[in-house]
Amino acid sequence: MSEPLLSNMVVVFALAVVSLFVCIRLKIPTIVGLLLVGVLAGPSGLGLINVSKEVEAIADIGVVLLLFTIGLEFSLKKLLRARRTVLLGGSLQVLITTATVYFAAVCAGISGAESLFAGFIISMSSTAIAMRLLEERGEIDGPAGVSSLAISLFQDIMSVPMVLSIPLLMGIEGNAGSHLGVFFLKTSAIIVLVLLGARWLVPQVLYQVTRTRSRELFLLSVLGLCGAIAWLTSRVDLSLALGAFLAGLIISESEYSHQALGSILPFRDVFTGFFFISVGMLLDVNYFLQHPFSIGSLALGVVILKIIIILAACTLIGLPLSTGIMTGFAISNIGEFSFVLIRAGSSSGLLSDETSQFFLAVTVISMILAPFLMGASNRVTGFIGRLPLPDKLRAGLFSLSGIEFPSTFEEGKSHIIIVGYGINGRNVARAASIAGIPYIIIEMNPDTVRREQRNGEHIIFGNADQEAVLAHAGITAARVIVIAIADPAATRQVTAVARKANQDIYIIARTRYVQEVQPLFRLGANEVIPEEFETSVEIFTRVLRKYLVPLDEIRRFVGEIRSGGYELLRDMRDGARSCGDLSCYLAGEDVAALKVSGASAFAGKSLAEINMRRSYEVAVVAVRRGASIISNPDGDTRILAGDILVAFGQPDRVEALAGLLNPEK
């Protein structure tokens, strides 16, 4: 590695550390800080890094590593489950955005080929930024997270034919047939690569690697596979970034995907900082200062245009209005694959240097706006939700044919309303069915609703934060509502609407994070189950049982923790006492299994003859003899060679007795 490249990488990492520290202290979105630091440190800023080709190389490395982690976190199965949003929502967004930009650019006097390519660039959104922001908000698994990822993935896939269309846009009509043939050949090769790699090649390679039990070899193999697949795609004139994403997608389908993701995740923030700083470096500050109004106004116009188009696409495919708004705000920026398109268009001569720099500036500005837009999305969603809009528009215009809605529960039925039919929702429904308690499920996935209705489940389609949907589920007659969804914003909204609709209903809400507990209580929840603390309670319950604390004391201890809003676990100040004094049960007593050897003087004697309790201060609570267990043995029980005694007492006493029972040890 040459000294200039090494020094540039050191500068990048140093700036990433400083920018993240400042952003955290000032509570500024970290993505904004990283982009701005890249702009200041780049060749046109302070000039800390002034070699443009090396800057581009750093950007390539950043986007490759970042897209690889995104591919690892996704899967082909997940893509197929969201196929309606991917295919319909994604295609609508790309087509409408491209067509709108094309006609606007042509009307502005730009050539047709350049106008169409501009539509390609602006139709892309940043998967990296959207996923990072949604993850920070805890909404990655919510409806907006799923739809945002589905549409942005379709955009990423469409970047392949967009790049391959450049020769056609350059006016090489005579070879159009051959170029189309090459396109289909490359597309087929990619599909075969993904299917074969995911099904046979990668699992076999990683199986042999994992047999060595070497963590270093496993990590290097995963990164090596990423580099190899990215290199292969680049050899057929496709982007490195697409190859990295495919590599992550292939590994995600193997049984080693969780281990691979666990090995890569510690470096994810490093990859993110690497990428966004390097993107900022590519911006020409002087060019931006010469055209601030045109760049800023176009960036703002693009963001507004994409929010409207994405909202329309989401509504048309059946997603609720609130989900469409959140999705629009999440992916309204221009994405990392736009850099791939800009570079390909510039190198082919389709875009001039000035046009390329203009689109680059607009892309960077839209990325800087992204965190602020996400911050405002909840307020905009709440404002629009209060408008007197038709219920059909709120729930989505897509006709859900084949789904029959169960009739509303009668007053006095005292049923349970279960919001969300994921793992937690299914478990609640199963328990209610076993207990004979009537219930109804509200779910937003139409495929799930259709399938479960065929199986006889009491399930309806709808967004539970709408009063009309809760009314259809019989909110006024219900005794309990269980909110078992992974979307924090939606959980808060459902809690508020449910409490407003029924002042007496008992609301149980599930949340991932502790900081959501008090806001949900303030909105009217009766119980909030935070997964972080509930796991701790379960672990410590088992610890107490190991120390032989009585079950009624354990139940009282756990009950006081839960009834106090988990305050004991949140307030760990020295000297704090709560839930009674359990120390008397944790006095250091030990339970051990001791084997009796043939050389022991105790072999063949009864417990009464040994007088173990009085002489050795150890109680024998059970004797294991072969496959049988003698519980609570009396004094007449004889100890035979080969027996295993379950003894209870102070650790030093138990250890001394072990030496007498097995002197050969």
Report yes or no: 32 and 273 within 8 Å, Cβ to Cβ: no
Task: For 87-129, write each residue's pLDDT tens digit.
Answer: 788 888 999 999 999 999 888 888 888 889 889 999 988 877 7
| Position 399 confidence tier, pLDDT thresholds 50, 70, 90 | very low
Selection from 281, 218, 219 nearest residue 60 by Cα? 281
Q: Is the pLDDT of residue 651 over 70?
A: yes
CA distances from 386 to 142, 143, 396 (A): 22, 20, 16
Higher pLDDT pick, 389 / 295: 295
Which contiguous run of DSSP H or E holds residue 138? none
* Contacts of the segment 8-14: beta carbons below 8 A, 24+ positions apart: 8/49, 8/51, 8/54, 8/55, 8/58, 9/58, 11/41, 11/48, 11/49, 12/41, 12/49, 12/58, 12/273, 12/274, 12/277, 12/278, 13/270, 13/273, 13/274
Out of 110-124, 491-505, 627-641, pick the least confident: 627-641
User: Is 80 exceeded by the pLDDT of residue 540?
Assistant: no
Is residue 618 predicted with pLDDT exceeding 80? yes
Per-residue pLDDT at 74: 65
354 pLDDT more than 90: no
Residue 180: the pLDDT is 59
pLDDT in tens, 557-574: 677 666 655 555 555 444
Reply yes or no on whether the pLDDT at 515 is more than 70.
Answer: yes
pLDDT of the residue at 146: 76
Instruction: State which fold the 3-385 domain adopts.
Output: Na+/H+ antiporter like fold (1.20.1530)
Per mean pLDDT, which range of 329-343, 535-549, 632-646 is the poorest?
535-549
| Residue 96: per-residue pLDDT | 93
587 pLDDT more than 60: no
Q: Are 238 and 186 in contact (CB under 8 A)?
A: yes
pLDDT at residue 21 in the model? 83
- Give the pLDDT score at 391: 67
For the beta sheet containing 590-595, the strands, ordered from the edge strand earlier in sequence to the opposite edge, are 590-595, 644-649, 619-625, 628-631
Nearest to 129 by CA among 448, 442, 371: 371
Q: Which CATH fold topology does 416-525 show?
A: Rossmann fold (3.40.50)
Which single residue is written with the structure tokens 């359990």? 582
Q: Is the pLDDT at 206 greater than 80, yes or no? A: no
Q: Where in the chain is the domain with CATH 1.20.1530.20?
A: 3-385
| Stretch among 233-237, 363-367, 408-412 having the lowest mean pLDDT | 408-412
| CATH number of the 590-661 domain | 3.30.70.1450
Dist. CA 377–CA 143, nearest whole Å: 14
Task: Give pLDDT, residue 400.
Answer: 39
486-514: average pLDDT: 85
Average pLDDT over residues 639-646: 87
Q: Is the pLDDT of residue 239 over 60?
A: yes
**Calpha distance 295→361 (Å, rounded):** 7
Q: What is the pLDDT of residues 421-440, one digit of tens each?
A: 888 888 888 888 877 888 99
**Residue 401 pLDDT > 50, yes or no?**
no
Confidence of residue 342 (pLDDT cuts 50, 70, 90): confident
pLDDT digits (tens, 9 = 90+) for 359-381: 888 888 888 888 888 878 878 87
Mean pLDDT (the chain, rounded): 76
pLDDT score, position 603? 86
Between helices 336-348 and 143-164, what is the axis angle to 10°?
10
Segment 269-294 shows an average pLDDT of: 78
Q: What share of the chain in percent tops pLDDT 70?
A: 74
Nearest to 156 by CA among 181, 112, 203, 190: 190
Rounded to the nearest 5°, which phi and psi values hold at 38?
-60, -40
pLDDT at 572: 45
* Contact by Cβ (8 Å): 657, 595: no
Cα Rg for the chain, rounded, in angstroms? Answer: 31
pLDDT at 100: 92
For residue 174, pLDDT over 50 is answered with: no
CA distance 589 to 585: 9
Q: Token digits for 445?
A: 């996935």
- Residue 417 is predicted with a pLDDT of 93
Dihedrals φ, ψ of 445, to 5°? -90, 110
Find the DSSP H helices in 285-419. Answer: 285-290, 292-316, 321-330, 336-348, 353-385, 391-395
Instruction: List every span in the chain annotated with CATH 3.30.70.1450.
Output: 590-661
On the question of pLDDT at 410 being above 50, the answer is: no
CA distances from 539 to 172, 452, 535, 547, 579 (A): 67, 34, 6, 13, 17
- pLDDT of 272: 66
Q: What is the pTM of this model?
A: 0.57
Higher-confidence residue of 490 and 566: namely 490
Q: What is the pLDDT of residue 140?
A: 66
Q: What is the mean pLDDT of residues 270-295?
A: 79
pLDDT tens column, 458-475: 888 777 877 767 877 888
Confidence of residue 404 (pLDDT cuts 50, 70, 90): very low
Q: What is the pLDDT of residue 589?
A: 63
pLDDT category, 220, cuts 50, 70, 90? confident
